[in-house]
Amino acid sequence: MSLELLRTDAHSPSYFALTRGSGDRDADLVDFCIPCNPYFPTPEIFARLRGSLENILKYYPSDSDTITRELCTTFGLHPQTVAMGNGSTELITWIDHLLVRDSLAVPIPTFGRWTDQPLETGKRVHMFPLQESRNFHLDVEAYVRYIRERQSRVAVICNPNNPDGGYLPRREVIAMLDRLTDLDLVVVDESFIDFADAEPYTSVADEAAIRPNVIVLKSLGKNFGLHGVRFGYLVANPALAGKIKAALPKWNLNSFAEIVVFLLKDHQEEYRHSLQLAARDRRLMYEWLAALPGLTVFPSQGNFLLVKLPDGTDGVWLRDRLIADYGVYIRECGNKLGSSGQFLRLVVRPQPDVERLLDGLCALLYGASPTWPAATRQVGPRHARSLRSA
C-alpha cells in the first residue's frame, strides 16, 4: 500500500486504490472512511447476488423508469415524483446544470460536491460557516438571514450533515422550507437520514413531493451499504422531478442497481434491523471515543462521528501511522472546506473494528501499549477511562 496515494489526491483514495497490488496485510484493512452499513446487505443477499453474477454483469439493465417504478412500489412513493441517478452525485451534477442559475448557499463544512460542483460551473457559492462552538448545529434563523443578505437563489442543507452528523428536527426543516418559498430551489440532502433515530419520522420527502421548489435527495448506496453500485434518487413535485428525469442519460443505472432495487421489498425487515444495530454501534463508539482524553466527539445522527484531535496533533500524521501500523484507514478533514486536519470523520463500525482503532489511537496519542492481551480487549472504554484518570 502506498502512503503516497494518501498525499497526492485531493479526495481520499478509494479502498481499491489503497489495496491494489498490495500484500496480505492490506487484505485485512479496516476502513473508517467509507460510510457503509456493515449489517446490510445480509450474507443471504450477497449469496443471491454472487449466484447471479454472470447474468447481472453480462446483460443490459432495464431503463431507469422500470427500476424507478419498482423502487416507488417498495417505498410507497409516486413514480412521477422520483428520479433515480447513478449515485446522488449524478443528481447533484444535473441539479446544478439545470436548476442552479447563478448562486447557491450551503452551510459548511458539508459534502464536497455541494461546494465544488457549482464552483466548477462558474456559480457563486455562498458558504455559511457552522460554528464548532455550537457543535456545528445549524441555526435556521441565522441561515435564512444569511441567504437574504447574499440574495442566494438556491439553498442547500444536508440532514444529517456530513461530516459532523448534526441533525435538524423535521419541524425545523419544514419551518425553513416555509421561509424559503420564494427561492428557485431548496435542496434537502437526506443521504444519511435512514441512520437517524432522533424522532420517529425524519424525512421531508413527503413535503418535497407537494411543494413548488423543494428537492429531497436520497442515497441508496450509503443506506444499503453498497457504495460500489452507485445509485440514489430524488423526490420533488412531478414538474421538477420530470425536468431532471428528462435530462438524465437513459440507462444511467447499472444491472446491480436494478437487481438490488428488486430485492429490497423482500428484505425490508433485515434492513430496519441493520439500522438499529448501526445506531447501537454509534452510541457505543461515541462513548468509547468521548472517553479518550483530549478528544472531542460531536453528537451525530449519521453513521459517522466527527472527532477533534487534541491541540497540536496532526491528523495527517495520525492517519499515516494508523494505516501503516494498525491497518486502520481513517479520514482526516484537512481537504474539507470549513474543517481542518485536526478533525477526523470516523465511520461507525462494529465493536471489534473500533477496538482496533482504539488500540491505534491509544498507542499513537498516549503511548499506551499497542497490543493489549486479547483477554482484556473488550474493556475498550475502561482502557480509555484508565488513560483519562492516569
106: contact with a copy of itself by CB under 8 A: no
Q: Which is nearer to a copy of itself, 194 or 363 (CB)?
A: 194
Q: Which is nearer to a copy of itself, 37 or 203 (CB)?
A: 37
d(CA 17, CA 12): 10
Strands 304-308, 296-297: pairing is antiparallel
Length of the chain: 390
120: contact with a copy of itself by CB under 8 A: yes
Strand ranges in 93-250 using DSSP code E only, listed in sequence order:
103-108, 124-129, 154-158, 185-189, 214-219, 232-235
Count Cβ atoms below 10 Å from residue 141 Cβ, excluding itself: 10
Of 8-16, 168-176, 300-308, 376-384, the segment contacting a copy of itself by CB under 8 A is 8-16
210: contact with a copy of itself by CB under 8 A: no
Q: Among 4, 16, 201, 390, which residue interacts with a copy of itself (rule: CB under 8 A)?
A: 16
CB of 140 to a copy of itself, least distance (A): 29
89: contact with a copy of itself by CB under 8 A: yes
List all residues 6 or more positions away from 224 whose beta carbon is below 8 Å from its beta carbon: 37, 40, 41, 260, 264, 271
Of 113-121, 153-161, 276-284, 357-365, the segment contacting a copy of itself by CB under 8 A is 113-121
304: contact with a copy of itself by CB under 8 A: no
Instruction: Name 188's bridge partners.
Output: 157, 216
Of 75-83, 90-98, 124-132, 363-371, the segment contacting a copy of itself by CB under 8 A is 90-98
List all residues 6 or more positions away from 78 whose beta carbon is below 8 Å from its beta carbon: 72, 209, 238
239: contact with a copy of itself by CB under 8 A: no
Site string for a copy of itself, 58-77 (x = CB under 8 A): xxxxxx--x-----------
Largest CA distance in the chain: 63
Of 33-41, 128-136, 151-159, 334-342, the segment contacting a copy of itself by CB under 8 A is 33-41
Contact 346, 289 (CB under 8 A): yes
CB of 254 to a copy of itself, least distance (A): 4
List all residues 6 or more positions away from 22 whose beta carbon is below 8 Å from its beta carbon: 1
Q: Which is nearer to a copy of itself, 31 or 355 (CB)?
A: 31
375: contact with a copy of itself by CB under 8 A: no
Strands 103-108, 82-85: pairing is unpaired
Residues in 241-260 that interact with a copy of itself by CB under 8 A: 246-256, 258-259
d(CA 185, CA 181): 8
Q: Among 3, 57, 198, 379, which residue interacts with a copy of itself (rule: CB under 8 A)?
A: 57
Phi/psi at 140 (nearest 5 deg)?
A: -60, -45
Residue corresponding to grid cell 447481472: 56
CB of 12 to a copy of itself, least distance (A): 9
d(CA 386, CA 390): 6
Contact 208, 214 (CB under 8 A): yes
Q: Among 99, 155, 216, 226, which residue interacts with a copy of itself (rule: CB under 8 A)?
A: 226
Cell matching residue 64:
431507469
Count Cβ atoms below 10 Å from residue 210 Cβ, excluding itself: 11
Q: Among 129, 169, 228, 310, which residue interacts with a copy of itself (rule: CB under 8 A)?
A: 228
CB of 381 to a copy of itself, least distance (A): 28
Residues near a copy of itself (CB under 8 A) are 11, 13-17, 20, 31, 34, 36, 41, 46, 49-50, 53-63, 66, 86-87, 89-90, 92-94, 97, 113, 117, 120, 221, 225-230, 246-256, 258-259, 262
